[in-house]
Amino acid sequence: MDISVVIPLYNEAESLQELYAWIRRVMNDHAFTYEVIFVDDGSNDGSWEIIRTLATENPEVQGFRFSKNYGKTAALQTGFNETSGKVVITMDADLQDSPDEIPELYRMITEDGYDLVSGWKQKRYDPITKTLPTKLFNATTRFIHDIHLHDMNCGLKAYNSKVTKSIVIYGEMHRYIPVVAKWNGFGKIGEKVVQHQARKYGHTKFGIERFLNGFLDLLSITFVNKFGKSPMHFFGLFGVLSFVGGLAMAAYLIGEKLYSIYSHQPYRNVTDNPLFFLGLTAALIGSQMFLAGFLGELFVRNNARKDDYVISERI
């Protein structure tokens, strides 16, 4: 099979039939063999009934429905697990991503040899309250992870199937799939300017809180990237520095008192000096951080990650 199209969605009943007809026309015009995988993230507006109808009438359509809203990451991971095409295309269900981009994205993967190609909505039909934070978010991610994409979170992406079968995403990591792919050795990541359509039906399902969550996720994923497999390298390092620094401070104060006694000079009790308690606190924090790193190492080596979402129906 040439192409698997994965479409995560939440309450997009109005656009699904039009989107599928558009995808089918593009695929037929280019003689692609394909499948379309809809992943319903707990919609309550009749989206699942439409997917059921499409799957009944079209053998290339698959549908998965979550028992509740788990988020876009869970929907994408479910779709990735079920794909069988040599190229995987992801797009949003709101008609803002154009299926007409699929042939060129497919060519970039199969002929140019890219592992992943991300869309870049150079001209956006979004308010400045959405575009400005997005630009800041993308610039920060480029700086930290050295991946030169203008629109990291664009829903329209193409993947070599080796990528989607190798990576595991969880939480809210759909924003950072290029970062995850790079971790896993898929370093040929490209970008294509794509058309951004104005929303035709309904309204966006994401609020302003996603930008705050995005930066928190960036900090989290950066930590996981660097220390996820060796937490002792982080906690142990700072733990040892804090412990040794605290002990050195306490030892200095005790040594200073002993020297004053030996030299018959005036002195005060070590416990009268606030630095002594700061040193003890630093030593205590250091020992706790070291213990946290040790427990983290045990956890990493003895626990496999489990999916925590439930698929209630499958077509």
pLDDT in tens, 30-47: 999 999 999 999 999 999
Q: What is the DSSP letter of 97?
A: B
Q: To the nearest whole number, what is the mean pLDDT of the chain? A: 85
Residue, of 104 and 239, whose pLDDT is higher: 104
Residue, of 311 and 237, whose pLDDT is higher: 237
Residue, of 25 and 227, whose pLDDT is higher: 25
Q: Is the pLDDT assigned to residue 13 strictly greater than 80?
A: yes
Share of the chain above pLDDT 70, in %: 82
Residue, of 289 and 31, whose pLDDT is higher: 31
> Residues 240-257: pLDDT tens digits?
899 999 999 989 888 988
Q: Is the pLDDT assigned to residue 259 strictly greater than 90?
A: no
> Residues 188-230: pLDDT tens digits?
999 999 987 766 676 665 555 656 666 666 777 667 666 666 7
pLDDT band at 26 (very low <50, low <70, confident <90, very high): very high
Q: Is the pLDDT assigned to residue 184 strictly greater than 60?
A: yes
Residue 132 is which amino acid? L
Burial of residue 97 (CB within 10 Å: 0-12, 13-18, 19+) is buried
pLDDT band at 304 (very low <50, low <70, confident <90, very high): very low
> What confidence score (pLDDT) does residue 163 get?
95
Mean pLDDT of 69-87: 95
> What confidence score (pLDDT) does residue 168 get?
87
Mean pLDDT of 269-290: 87
Report the DSSP beta bridge partners of residue 188: none
- What is the rounded end-to-end Cα distance, in angstroms, of the chain? 19
Helix (H) or strand (E) holding 243: helix 232-262
Q: Is the pLDDT assigned to residue 285 strictly greater than 80?
A: yes
Mean pLDDT of 52-81: 95
> What confidence score (pLDDT) does residue 197 get?
74
Highest mean pLDDT of the ranges 82-86, 146-150, 197-201, 279-283: 82-86
Contact by Cβ (8 Å): 131, 165? no
Report the DSSP beta bridge partners of residue 129: none
Q: Which of 126-130, 156-160, 200-204 has the lowest mean pLDDT?
A: 126-130
pLDDT band at 148 (very low <50, low <70, confident <90, very high): confident
> What confidence score (pLDDT) does residue 305 get?
52
Contact by Cβ (8 Å): 178, 142? no
Chain mean position to CA 166: 15
What predicted TM-score, i.e. pTM, was given to this entire model?
Answer: 0.72
> What confidence score (pLDDT) does residue 126 get?
59
> What confidence score (pLDDT) does residue 124 get?
67
